[in-house]
């Protein structure tokens, strides 16, 4: 079955928030289950960042025990390295995904670790933007989908240096085409890339098949400078850059298969994140995802 048919089986999830092990226990961080209870209609689902060796923390477990929807965001697989698909890791992921009752798997299609996988490594570098690398990523996505039985959506990673001769969006167009899958478009990561390369925020999006965008991320970023080198740090604050908003609003209105939008803001207070959620929700409601959510009710 092709992507265009498979995507119909995934229900719209709406607007969610991300987390990872221990994030909710950091002082000043968002208590996601509490915000869901106290501010209904703000958070529809939880995207759980998972290192399989660590498992799920108490906040993720509380969310799951309440019967609320989730997605599984992997933090420990280099999709383009066949040796990463170890039997013990696949068994752990299958168990955790079942426990979460995840709608699908997603995660950055980059380098999560260098050398053998090790707990807590959490290195993240972007892929080399070449046709050969795109094919390697696609093979890993197809393999993971077949091994675990879930859809697998790659995400464009952040970075301060990008190697290769392809534009980021052309690279991921090649990946999703070869893997016959959808994309998790991180709008903040794309804004970082466009800034580093000197492109306008929407460069390359006119060449990307927007019907392949299944999920989007919005997050804050901070302009920084070091010895004359200017860059944007992907720091997940509530200060969302204008370029990130521009990308999000452009794609949100044009992505017919969009199922989910994540506000990556878990290390901020509920008061600080509310304006961002409100703007995201208003944008979603005006687009195809909002219409799909209304039809699903």
Cα separation, 253 vs 271, whole angstroms: 27
User: Is it the case that residue 8 has pLDDT exceeding 80?
Assistant: yes
Q: What is the mean pLDDT of residues 57-76?
A: 95
Residue spans of the domains in the chain: they are 12-286
- The answer to whether the CB of 141 falls within 8 A of the CB of 152 is yes
Q: What is the mean pLDDT of residues 109-113?
A: 92
The percentage of the chain sitting over the pLDDT mark of 90, rounded to a whole number, equals 80
- For residue 296, the model assigns a pLDDT of 78
- For residue 237, the model assigns a pLDDT of 84
- For residue 202, the model assigns a pLDDT of 98
pLDDT of 212-247, one tens digit each? 999 999 998 888 788 887 877 777 888 899 999 999
pLDDT band at 121; cut points 50, 70, 90 = confident
- For residue 78, the model assigns a pLDDT of 96
Q: What is the mean pLDDT of residues 2-27?
A: 94
The percentage of the chain sitting over the pLDDT mark of 70, rounded to a whole number, equals 100
- For residue 243, the model assigns a pLDDT of 97
- For residue 267, the model assigns a pLDDT of 87
- For residue 269, the model assigns a pLDDT of 87
The CATH code belonging to domain 12-286 is 3.20.20.150
How do 222-226 and 229-233 pair as beta strands?
antiparallel
- For residue 224, the model assigns a pLDDT of 79
Q: What is the mean pLDDT of residues 67-74?
A: 97
Q: What is the mean pLDDT of residues 53-73?
A: 95
Cα separation, 53 vs 51, whole angstroms: 6
Q: What is the mean pLDDT of residues 84-104?
A: 97
Number of Cβ within a 10 Å radius of residue 152:
26
Cα separation, 60 vs 217, whole angstroms: 19
pTM > 0.85: yes
Number of Cβ within a 10 Å radius of residue 115:
7
- For residue 206, the model assigns a pLDDT of 97
Q: What is the mean pLDDT of residues 79-106?
A: 97
- Over the chain, what is the mean pLDDT? 94
Estimate the crossing angle of helix 58-65 against helix 87-100, to 10 degrees: 50
């Amino acid at each position: 079955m092709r992507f265009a048919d498979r995507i119909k089986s995934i229900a719209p999830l709406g607007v969610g928030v991300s987390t990872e092990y221990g994030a909710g226990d950091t002082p000043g961080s968002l208590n996601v289950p509490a915000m869901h209870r106290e501010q209904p209609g703000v958070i529809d689902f939880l995207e759980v960042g998972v290192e399989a060796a660590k498992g799920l923390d108490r906040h993720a477990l509380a969310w799951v025990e309440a019967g609320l929807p989730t997605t599984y965001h992997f933090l420990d697989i280099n999709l383009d390295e066949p040796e990463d698909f170890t039997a013990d890791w696949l068994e752990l992921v299958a168990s955790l995904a079942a426990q979460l009752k995840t709608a699908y798997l997603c995660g950055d299609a980059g380098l999560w670790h260098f050398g053998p996988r090790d707990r807590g490594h959490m290195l993240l570098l972007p892929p080399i933007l070449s046709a050969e690398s795109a094919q390697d990523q696609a093979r890993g996505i197809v393999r993971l989908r077949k091994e675990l039985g879930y859809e697998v959506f790659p995400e464009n990673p952040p970075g301060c240096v990008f190697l290769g001769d392809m534009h980021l969006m052309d690279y991921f167009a090649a990946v999703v085409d070869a893997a016959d899958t959808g994309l998790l478009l991180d709008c903040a990561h794309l804004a970082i890339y466009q800034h580093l390369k000197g492109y306008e925020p929407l460069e390359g999006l006119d060449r990307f098949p927007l019907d392949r965008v299944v999920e989007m991320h919005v997050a804050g970023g901070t302009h920084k400078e070091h010895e004359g080198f200017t860059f944007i740090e992907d720091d997940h604050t509530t200060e969302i850059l204008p370029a990130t908003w521009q990308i999000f609003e452009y794609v949100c209105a044009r992505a017919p298969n969009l199922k989910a939008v994540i506000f990556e803001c878990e290390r901020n207070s509920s008061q600080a994140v509310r304006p961002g959620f409100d703007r995201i929700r208003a944008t979603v409601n005006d687009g195809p995802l909002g219409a799909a959510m209304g039809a699903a009710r």
